Amino acid sequence: GLGWLLLKSFWLELRETWPNEYWDDFVRKSSTRKGRHCLRPEVSRTFTFGEVGVSRGQFYKTHLKHIKLNQENVDWLDLDLTYIASADRFDSWLSKEISMADVVTLEDIQRLSSSASPKAYAMMFKESNWKRISKHFGLAEDIKDGVYRGSYRSVIPFTWQGKHRIYL
């Protein structure tokens, strides 16, 4: 299943209304979020091993069975993680990353050769095109209370083909 870390204050606020299932959807509800956002790691620190669970295998075959645990040692003390020290710092860092990315369309991405050098791309889309775009990149299609799965302040950042940074 999923694994999240919550601030104690957030847990104390929500524990009386915490659902027995689909709590990831519960956390995305605007009445729960109250304008707050969640940072999540792109390299999963959890692993799901089967279809059995409260979600009844809803996304197992299409998404969850492909999750891989990180196999590389990371020396966290050597990394500069100041960009995630606060929401303001992260927002500034993300804005800078997006502004430096090449603005493209889905058609531009589809024309990329597999030998293309690693690059960052930003792509705008309309909600009416979301299913087509999410299918192309293998992203979860669900939108809960106006929030796309994996988004942060309406931006969906991810690595594609193991080398390209994409900001939708």
- Write out the catalytic residue numbers: 24
Whether residue 79 contacts residue 29, with contact meaning beta carbons closer than 8 Å, is answered with: no
Q: What gap in Å lies between CA 144 and CA 68, rounded to an integer? A: 25
CA 105 remoteness from chain centre: 20
Beta strands in 11-163 (DSSP E): 102-103, 120-122, 143-144, 147-148, 157-160
Q: What gap in Å lies between CA 139 and CA 151, rounded to an integer? A: 11
* Per-residue tokens: 42: 């792109």
> Which residues face 152 on adjacent strands?
155
